[in-house]
Structure 1
Amino acid sequence: MSTENIRTYDVIVIGAGPVGENVADRTTAAGLSTVIVESELAGGECSYWACEPSKALLRPVLLRADAVHVPGIHPAVKEPLDIDAVLAHRDRMSADWKDDGQVEWIKSVGIDLLRGHGRLAGKREVSVETPDGGTVRLRARHAVAVCTGSRAALPPLPGIESLRPWTSRDATSARKPPERLVVVGAGVVGVEMATAWQALGSRVTLLAREEGLLPRVEPFAGELVTERLREAGADVRFNVSVAAAERTQDGEVRITLTDGCELTADEILFATGRAPRSEDIGLDTVGLIPGDWLATDDSLTVTAVPGNWLYAVGDVNHRALFTHQGKYQARIAGAVIGARARGEQLDTGRWAPHSGTADTEAVPGVVFTDPEVASVGLTVREAELTGRAVEVVDHEIGHVAGALQYRPDYRGRARILIDRDRQVVVGATFVGPGVGELLHSATIAISAEVPVDRLWHAVPAFPTISEVWLRLLETRRDS
């Protein structure tokens, strides 16, 4: 290979999604020359096929759901949504699937961008197959960070390829609502897309193999979401999945369920989990198994590769599959790479600068359904499984004055879990319209380990929904 095709940097980042961009931003700020390798659009899954387009679809849906219950709002708000306008808004929020703005930002902060498919090629080396068919060899003086994310995982259903199913990418980028949509999966993607497309005119059937929706959060959350989906017209079924399916010559999808029932749809969305984008990135060249999740320690260093040069950041490490959590990891990884490049000792104690403690202690998440679901830290089930002794405190959010101002028929619920030994909040769940904005206060309380007695002095403004914090403390005091 000619020397013109070999380029050396301090840091190589594979993947230019939000995670890779943040790693590169931090290492560049630390004075390390950095290149990002990207085979698709700079900005990644979140910008074009996940967070941004899905929330653009859901925002008009949720705003309308609240507005129809507020006195004095014009009756026209009860009319069906303007589908073309909603989809045009979705397109704008996805930058029309063009990454010019992302590329401009990458260049503006001094990061190099190399288009092409990057594969590890041994210790601190990456081979990039460029769009013109050429190959560029990259060498890293200090670190390689794998930030390739995850993809939709399809179930092992016979003939699934010929079925041409929707994945999350199809569900967020569709050009029109299907008349009949079957959604398979009870998790975040399944319930959010069922909420969006039902409101945009599809007849949605949601299939959950579990006994309820959103099985990773408190059960009352899934119950309220189920109730609203059914009120909106969706057919929600539990303890069932797809046994067989085929797409006919006229384009219909014919589905047989595990309980023997049969359905016909125009599209079927499988929202049944995620898999790492690691099957073709050269893991075998460094002793790892292609297609596996990449296990790391709290410094985001891949534990199975010696030498502290390989990092896995974001979804690909399977620590916490959220964009915001991946960006948090990126800040940690960038600081670790910078410290090691300077020969400094890492500070990896609990909540220390070089430790991703939040991945296990305080992972926040919002499900943008009607009603919203916001949670951080432990659930009751997780506390029981891990042997944590917790006190459970519940309060109906609809009893708070601020909630009634928000919506006269407000229905929602709040729960906090208090560690009995340390007397700090270790988990919180809020369900109801607008509760996503409550979540950061809970995240701060958990990550800062604020004593419960001190929370009495954090006075919520009246009349806001945040007053539920005071009501939770009063409920605990009076119980």
Structure 2
Amino acid sequence: MNAGQQVLEYDVVVVGAGAVGENAADRAGRAGLSVAIVEDELVGGECSYWACMPSKALLRPGAVLAAARAVPGASEAVTGGLDVAAVLARRDKFTTDWDDAGQVRWLEKSGIALVRGRVRFTGPRELVLVPDPASPEAEPVGTVLRARRAVVVATGSEPVIPPVPGLIESEPWTSREATSAESVPGSLAIIGGGVVACELAVAYTDLGSAVTVLVRGDRLLDRMEPFAAQEVEESLVELGVDVRFGVEATRAAREDGRTTVELSTGGTLVADQVLVATGRRPRTSELGLEALGLEPGAALTVDDAMEVVGVDGGWLFAAGDVTGRTATTHQGKYDARVAGDVVAARFSQAAGAPDAGSGAAEAERAAGPWSRYRATADHAAVPQVAFTRPEVSTVGLTEQAARDAGLRVRTVRHAIGSVSGAAVAADGYRGTAQLVLDDARGVVVGATFTGPDAAELLHAATIAVVAEAPLDRLWHAVPSYPTVSEVWLRLLEAAGL
């Protein structure tokens, strides 16, 4: 350490102040540990400003408009399309105009210290702040952060732009630019076929863009059930989206405010803007992981206690996208709660702070598979929603993933539109419900729902999967009438109950 170099010491240092880092810091701090959180951008992170919240704010008006048009009596009141300026203004409210003052106040009230800037590991439990010209509020460069007990890495992920000649130079959008845009392009070419690509194809079509989606493979949403992907594809085409499969961008060039994309199938596509949605990678390349014997740029492999594998001393933890285990905010926050609780249980007494709870350290050491100190839901019960139209909500294993895992499963499926609650909700309601059943144990191991507001059906399925509730007991969980949830009765009947 250099003479006069500032040293800041805390029991726990959390790197990354997004939703995941905030949850880890909060849970560790509840045990009386002193906690600092480090952030080089906005407190609240990707979800608050460039992902979950703004994207759903962009999608919701179109969904509401479609819902109104599906109900006679309300449809007659719909006399126009979306007010684009109003949609963007409402989006800006959800991002608080990209101002994190409110999030900073929450940290202050929670007793969590905020350190502005970028950091690199220099050794076990030690990091140093490095230059970041984009962060004028950063601590002095060279300031050392020392964690007396633990470090939690929650730096999230960053978009991947494929190495297509000219693509970076053409200044494409990633999800960040797409969710924070101040205006709507007349035409938009989207490269990718996953959740981000499909959601933003819907959002920008609703807002008036002519959208083309270029998919390298032969289907959309390749991690979800094929029937759900097919329904989303059909809906995108009905909305006017040009969906092309088996095609890749081979070269791009921007001139006079438009981008020309050369295609692997021959010909070109010209668009006002290109959006790249081809995946994300863990944000670890600049963390100095080499000082810990870890590979920069790689995911941080963790066990179910969220402790990083391959680092001696049991002091390094990670949660969220940076681990490669999950790719949703809600599941990352779950992992963060586990990490924070484990840190609190292991280190609060050692730090001379109040225990996190009676026998917390002993409980953590003896943690079973469904203990609050183990993130076991990551293996078999991850929920996800694609806020497309129709929405797709899924939890647990797809049929193919279950078979790949060696399970002998069968599926039961039912058209949601045939239940009374769906008929009341919308004329011509279209959607599908499917359960993946493990008959050897008599439990649900996976579920998928499609249709308007299908996300609201998901938590019941999540509970069934996590609780491993026997099917013969689920039979006694009577759905209210007339609701869309009545589809659960039809699914259980199809299962033979």
Alignment CA distance shift 1:192-1:309 (3 Å):
same
Q: 1:135 Cα deviation (Å)?
A: 2.5
Correspondent of 2:467 among 448, 467, 472: 448
CA deviations 1:416-469 (Å, max 9, x no partner) are: 011121111100000000110110000000101100000011111101111111
3-state SS in 2 of match to 1:143: strand
Within 5 Å, which residues of 2 pair with 1:75-224?
Answer: 75-77=76-78, 79-129=80-130, 131=138, 133-224=140-231
Report deviation, 1:211.
Answer: 1.3
Amino acid paired to 2:438: D
Q: Distance in 2 between matches of 1:40 and 1:227?
A: 39
Among candidates 343, 347, 360, match of residue 366 of structure 2: 347
What is the aligned partner in structure 1 of residue 318 from structure 2? 312
Q: CA deviation at 1:58?
A: 0.3
Tell me the equivalent position of 1:327: 333
TM-score by length of 2: 0.94
How far, CA to CA, are the matches of 2:411 and 2:200 in structure 1?
Answer: 31
**Structure 1 residue 353, shift from structure 2 partner:** 2.0
> Displacement of 1:65 after TM fit?
1.3
**Does the CA contact (< 8 Å) of 1:347 and 1:353 recur in 2?**
no
- Contact between 1:367 and 1:374, CA under 8 Å: does it hold in 2? yes
Q: For residues 419 and 190 of structure 1, do their structure 2 counterparts lie closer, same or farther at Cα, with a shift above 3 Å needed?
A: same
Q: 2:307 aligns with which of 301, 310, 329?
A: 301
Q: Is the 8 A contact 1:347 1:355 kept in 2?
A: no
For residues 126 and 149 of structure 2, the distance between their equivalents in structure 1, rounded to whole angstroms, comes to 11
Alpha-carbon distance between aligned partners in 1 of 2:3 and 2:420, rounded to the nearest angstrom: 71
Cross-structure match for 1:425: 444
Deviations 1:130-183 (A, max 9, x none): 736533211111100110000111111122221111101011011111101001
1:280-299 equivalence runs, <5 A: 280-299=286-305
Q: Distance in 2 between matches of 1:382 and 1:44?
A: 31
Is the contact made by 1:347 and 1:354 (CA closer than 8 Å) also made in structure 2?
no
1:357-380 residue CA offsets vs partner (Å, 9 max, x unmatched): 011110000110110000000001
State the Cα distance separating 1:323 from its structure 2 match.
Answer: 0.3
Q: Which amino acid aligns with 1:141?
A: R
- Identity among equivalent positions (%) equals 52
Kindly provide the amino acid, as one letter, of the partner of residue 238 in structure 2.
E
| SS of corresponding position for 2:345 | helix
Q: Give the deviation of 1:119 after TM superposition.
A: 1.5
CA–CA distance in structure 2, aligned partners of residues 222 and 453 of structure 1? 31
- The residue that corresponds to 1:229 in the other structure is 236
- The match for 1:380 is 399
Write out per-residue CA displacement over residues 195-216 of structure 1, whole angstroms, 9 at most, x where no aligned residue: 0001100000011112111111
Partner of 1:470: 489
CA shift digits 1:96-131 (9 cap, x unpaired): 000000000011011000111121120011112373
Aligned residues of 2:12 and 2:147 also touching (Cα < 8 A): yes
Counterparts of 1:419 and 1:132 in 2: how far apart (Å)?
54
* Paired residue type of 1:21: E
Following the alignment from structure 1 to structure 2, what is the Cα–Cα distance between the partners of residues 24 and 188? 29
Q: Report the aligned-residue RMSD.
A: 1.3
SS at match of 1:365: strand
Residue pairs, 1:348-363, within 5 angstroms: 348-363=367-382
SS in 2 for 1:141: strand
Match of 1:270 among 273, 276, 293: 276
Aligned residue in 1 for 2:430: 411
- Quick one: which amino acid aligns to residue 20 of structure 1? G
Aligned CA distance change for structure 1 residues 255 and 300 (closer, same or farther; 3 Å)? same
Q: Is the 8 A contact 1:150 1:277 kept in 2?
A: yes
SS of residue matched to 2:37 = strand
Single out whichever of 13-22 and 127-136 deviates more from structure 2: 127-136
Tell me, what secondary structure is at the counterpart of 1:352?
coil
Match of 1:47 in 2: 48
| DSSP-derived class of the 2:281 partner | strand
Please say which of residues 127-136 and 37-46 is displaced more in the overlay. Answer: 127-136
Note if contact 1:183-1:271 (Cα within 8 Å) is conserved in structure 2. yes
Gaps of 5+ in 2: 131-136, 351-360
Count of residue pairs the alignment pairs up: 477
Read off the aligned partner of 2:247 and give its amino acid letter: V
Paired with 2:425 and 2:53, the residues of 1 have a C-alpha distance of 25
One-letter code of the match for 2:53?
Answer: E
In terms of mean alpha carbon deviation, does 435-444 or 204-213 score higher? 204-213
Contact 1:68 / 1:78 at 8 angstroms: preserved in 2? no
The more displaced of 43-52 and 62-71 is 62-71
2:417 to 395, 398, 412: 398
Of 69-78 and 80-89, more deviation after overlay is shown by 69-78
Contact 1:299 1:348 in 2 (8 A): no
- 2-side partners of 1:185 and 1:75: how far apart? 37
Q: Displacement of 1:349 after TM fit?
A: 2.4
Contact 1:391 1:419 in 2 (8 A): yes
Q: Flag the 1:194–1:124 CA change in 2: closer, same or farther, 3 A.
A: same
Partner SS for 1:339: helix
Change beyond 3 A, Cα 1:3–1:10: farther
**Counterparts of 1:75 and 1:87, CA distance in 2:** 25
1:78–1:228 CA distance, 2 compared to 1 (3 A)? farther
State how far apart, in whole Å, the 2-side matches of 1:375 and 1:90 are: 26
> Structure 1-normalised TM-score?
0.97
- Listed one character per residue, the Cα deviations across residues 397-430 of structure 1 (whole Å, up to 9, x for unaligned) are 0111101111110010000011121111100000
Offset, 1:309: 0.5
Where 1:302 maps in the other structure, the secondary structure is coil
Letter aligned with residue 311 of structure 2: V
Unaligned runs of 5+ in 1: none
1: distance between equivalents of 2:156 and 2:270? 33
Cα distance in 1 between the residues matched to 2:155 and 2:144 = 18
SS in 1 for 2:123: coil
